Amino acid sequence: MAPQAPDRSGPAEPGRSSVSEQDDILGAMRSRWNDAEAAKLDGVDLLVYASRLIGAETSLVVWGGGNTSLKTSERDHRGRDVAVLRVKGSGSDLKSVQRKDFPGVRMDDIRALLDRQDMGDQEMVAYLAHGLMDPGGVRPSIETLLHGFVGAQAVVHTHADAIVSLTNNDRPQEVLSGVYGKEVIALEYRRPGFRISREVADAIAATPQARALVLERHGTICWGATVREAYDATLELITRAEEAIVERKQGRRVFGGARVDVLPPAARRATALAVAPRLRGRLGRSKRVVLGFDDSPGVLAFTSSVDAPTLSQVGPATPDHTIYTKRLPCFVDLARSTDDPLAVWDALDRSVERFVGDYTAYFEAHKFVGAELVDPLPRVVLVPGLGMFTAGRDRRTAGIVNDIYHHTIDVIGNASAFGRYVSLTAPDAFDVEYWPLELYKLTLAPPEKELARRIALVTGGASGIGRAVARRLAMEGAHVVVGDVDEAGAKKTADDVTAAVGNGRAIGLRMDVTSEASVRAAFEETILAFGGLDILVSNAGMAHSAPVDRMALGDWERSFAVNATGHFLVAREAMRILIPQELGGALVFVATKNVMSPGKDFAAYSAAKAAEAQLAKVLALEGAPHGIRSNIVNPDAVFQDSKLWSDEVRRERAAAQGIAVEQLEDFYRKRNLLGARILPEDVAEAVLFLAADRSAKTTGCTLTVDGGVKDAFPR
């Protein structure tokens, strides 16, 4: 039996106030409609406009939730005028929806079902496919019939937080009647599909004076003769709900007050940094995850409260949340807050283990023929006194999970002001979580790439080889942290990456590899952004050319600081993450042909790079028991986009070879066996090979990318 949520809906306490993050914005729902913009649009284009306005309000719909529709007249393939329902397609998101995301379904096919009393999900989907104006196009929403059965021209369906707050308590009919009187129809929860569509149609027909309909624990249905009317009706309905919530919550203590003390900010940060890689490893044993951490005030107020252990285990705010967050979060059993990372980790590990057992039992109790257990690990982990971790296949998905649970916290707090918080029953939640038509949405995502779910840190990423490596790893699905002493250049590379592969996939940081503090700070930012690390590409370097007898000690030491000690510092920090994370990992060191074949007047560079190579080989020995591979790439004469080949270094190397500066690039090209010009992208391909699982059985290896310099053959 699910735990019973405490009832905090009694009389308000004098002097008490809510800690909900929504308190300042509830009651402030405003119309985003712009008459000048809307006047330029009509038909489906106007529907797209209104849909985006609704999608922009995160308190109305989150991440693919909700849908809109418009009944129109169109010409079919034979030139006949036919009535058509344009409805949001499955898998699209209202905030970014486009015209193409509204498949058309013939209304005569929809109306033909009004005489039916029931229809299976698969039968309904197959039937609607035959009614598409564009056969084989976007699959229409599972709630298509709900829209089609409503007689009004325009329909808006949302999962508004304020409305769900009125229904997710133990007396929803009384609460709704008190807010709306008889203007709004209220129906008990039923999973989306034919039967609820049928019930909505019957309820509206029986109550023609109703202005809207509320589905308990689900959301709203509003309608109008025009798109504008349906939009305005939605905002009016929700504004009244928000006003009722503000009034009800005045002077009430939210979540029963504090149960444990919240750690100070510095302690929260240090503890999160210590446990995040371990948690990422625990959650990613079968399939890696990206992990986010959140210690915002609203999250801390909830996770550290008296009622959180019980309220968090009641259920989601709305059914569609389960696809991202599962039915319940993992609530960590901590009787008091602590900044001892080992104590926090022990509690985390025990709680995750218990979650897996409970989730498996939940699956076994409710499974149907053909159902297969999905990942039994939590997506949301709540730690009293510390904050919240959220997991997803990428940073975007982890962010969606985070956003959804923020909404859940708000709904729990608001609903509890009206009565005991309630949610879906376990069987109802299972029906949604394992509903084939809902899981279908997840199949719309493209296949995962080779480095999907992996986190890579590339040093010296502002230019040349580092920039090319960052781009290449990202193109294969990796999340990339670009470090460089040139902060602007690092951020530029990261911006280029996100422009190519999507937001959230790269960050650029200032990183001076000669500074222990700078290196540590960059790895800390990596953990806070993504949860851990999988790949280190230690690439940052500099060159100095001079005969030994004329070399200054400072130049020698600077070369070793960057080209040897710098690699040690970044490798040490990487190992400190990879070992406790227990997911293995890949270290790739960008060295040089000079390791095998040193150059005249190049002692500081060649010797320091030889130290880097030896370090990489030692790490192959030390990392192997942990599944951590360490390999080396030896490039030569990579001039393009290179800061290493400064004007000064070019002059010095030309002088060492006895040639003119303008002959230098051609000299290096001609000296390799293939006569090839070596580009940053060529080196990036070698790095990709060593970073990916295609080289899973390779460690301690040196891979040359030099066109074939015989004196530098590995031997």
Residue 143's nearest CA partner among 209, 216, 199 is: 199
Q: Given 49, 127, 231, 605, which residue is catalytic?
A: 605
Instruction: Sort strands 380-383 and 330-331 into parallel, antiparallel or unpaired.
Output: parallel
Cα(360)–Cα(338) distance, rounded to whole angstroms? 30
The structure tokens listed for 238 are: 């929700």
CA dist., res. 655 & res. 677, Å (int): 21
**DSSP character at residue 129:** H
667: Cβ–Cβ under 8 A, 6 or more apart, which residues? 657, 659
Residue reference for tokens 């790079």:
609
Q: By three-state DSSP, how is residue 63 classified?
A: coil
**What backbone phi and psi angles, to 5 degrees, belong to 418?**
-100, -15
Q: In what order do the strands lie in the sheet with 628-635?
A: 506-510, 479-484, 455-459, 535-538, 585-590, 628-635, 702-705
324 belongs to the catalytic site: no
Q: How many CA atoms lie within 13 Å of 206's alpha carbon, on the beta-carbon side?
A: 10
Tell me the C-alpha distance between 510 and 506, whole Å: 14
C-alpha 640/C-alpha 683 separation (Å) is 12
Contacts of 557 by beta carbon, 8 Å cutoff, 6+ apart: none
CA distances from 15 to 245, 255, 415, 470 (A): 18, 16, 21, 55
Strand partners, 106: 84
> How far apart, in whole angstroms, are the C-alpha atoms of residue 75 and residue 596?
73
Q: Which residues contact 670 (CB under 8 A, 6 or more apart)?
A: none
Which among 597, 603, 565 has a CA at the least distance from the CA of 671? 597
Polymer length of the chain: 715
In 10 A of CB 109, how many CB atoms?
Answer: 16
Active-site positions read 605
